[in-house]
Structure 1
Amino acid sequence: MYTIMVVDDSSFIVDVFVTMLERGGYRTIATYGGQECLDLLKTEKPDLILLDIMMEPMDGRETLERIKTNPKTRDIPVMMLTAKQLTPEEAQEYGIYIEDYVLKPITHRELYDVIEHILQRRTRIRLDVETAKAAGFDQRIIDEYARLSKSIEVNNRLVNILESTYNISDSKARVGDEIARAIKNMTMNISFQEERLGQIREELQLTSDPSQ
């Protein structure tokens, strides 16, 4: 049974998501703020953290940074779960740290699907890493493979959210030059990463695609 930690400074929101998750068969840990989350992580190691952004006094941004800069907790996957509109700056800042960015409200099924996808992706990448290690490949290449396999998928997700938020597909929508340029740069960077990942996959002789 997977353990999910829910972090929000609203007890009502925490209770809602705890109920949803327990109905889906997950074990839950309820935390009502960033500091409480960090304190509990000293003794608990959940399989996934659902972290809200808009919290006080420690917001989700600081909480995320402190989770990911601590060697003991940085490998725990974090999913941002928030009603806050995503900006290009936040997409670039969060992208290296998070597993997904999900906008509230969200249905039971959507939540379960996202969680299962994140956990299955981590399992697939871990198995590929173990296979590559057993075959004696260079650790730096293996680490790069693991990083790119996750970041490409997460960044594609963030770009899709940004395009939807700012109606990029609508020719009548007025999108600022800075926002349009940021989204274009993210898309180009993803393309470069995908090309590099393809090269690494060939070098590691991996036949299955972990993004599928």
Structure 2
Amino acid sequence: MAGENILVVDDEVHIVELVKYNLENNGFKVFTAYEGREAINIAETKNINLVILDLMLPDIDGLEVCKTLKRKDTTSNIPIIMLTAKSEELDKIVGLELGADDYITKPFSVRELMARVRAILRRAASEVKGNEVLRIGQLTIDNTKHEVLKNGKSIDLTLKEFELLYLLIKNKGKVLTRDSLLDRVWGYEYYGETRTVDV
């Protein structure tokens, strides 16, 4: 998942630097903008996979940036996380209704932000892959239907079991760490026993 291009938009330099530093440490390529029009230009000209957007910008506000990006064909599919000091329920609702995929209020946890970034990028990647069907030996795994067949007969799996099997088969021959499995299958919302994936 790392390697994607992320645009960070905020007029506070220290916030931009903090988020950029942590994204780069997680393997992402980071573009930065301190104004709304600059952000729109970067989103239109670079291959951006995710935007982290502040609401309060000096030229046009983040809501207008969000609306503009969601309206244009070239940028409408870019996921947006709003990261802002505006914590009123109405601000959140308006942001989400304009097309933001997530909303985080300042002050924020960097670890939570990184987890949400990964979760949204995972979701976006699975939507792009769509109806991918994998075959290995006697197994057929249909990602769209979340269905596993062995010799044509359905195998009942929970959603997490399916996601884990799919991830392992998709990465056949690669070493996946426990942390990687927990992050990619259980995501940031997982607070359970970390030995769940141990065999």
Give the CA deviation at 1:10.
2.0
- Within 1, Cα distance between the matches of 2:13 and 2:83? 15
Give the CA deviation at 1:101.
0.6
Q: Percent identity?
A: 29
Structure with bigger gyration radius: 2
Q: 1:92 to 1:64 in 2, by over 3 A?
A: closer
Q: Report the counterpart of residue 22 of structure 2 in structure 1.
A: 20
Q: How does 1:109-188 map to 2 (within 5 A)?
A: 109-127=111-129, 129-131=130-132
Give the CA deviation at 1:25.
1.8
Provide structure 1 residue ranges, at least 5 long, that are not aligned to the other structure: 133-204
Q: 1:89 to 1:79 in 2, by over 3 A?
A: closer
CA RMSD of aligned residues (A): 2.6
Moved over 4 A (4+): 208-212
Give the CA deviation at 1:89.
6.4
Q: How does 1:30-179 map to 2 (within 5 A)?
A: 30-88=32-90, 90-91=92-93, 94-95=96-97, 97-127=99-129, 129-131=130-132
- Within 1, Cα distance between the matches of 2:17 and 2:91? 31
Q: Report the counterpart of residue 146 of structure 2 in structure 1.
A: 207
Q: 1:89 to 1:26 in 2, by over 3 A?
A: closer
- TM-score, reference length from structure 1: 0.58
Structure that is richer in strand per residue:
2
- TM-score, reference length from structure 2: 0.62
- Within 1, Cα distance between the matches of 2:126 and 2:55? 28
Q: Is the 8 A contact 1:7 1:52 kept in 2?
A: yes
Deviations 1:73-107 (A, max 9, x none): 11111111112113246415523511111112223
Provide structure 2 residue ranges, at least 5 long, that are not aligned to the other structure: 134-143, 148-158, 164-184, 187-199
Give the CA deviation at 1:33.
0.9
How many residues are paired up? 140
Structure that is richer in helix per residue:
1
Q: Which moved more, 1:65-74 or 1:101-110?
A: 101-110
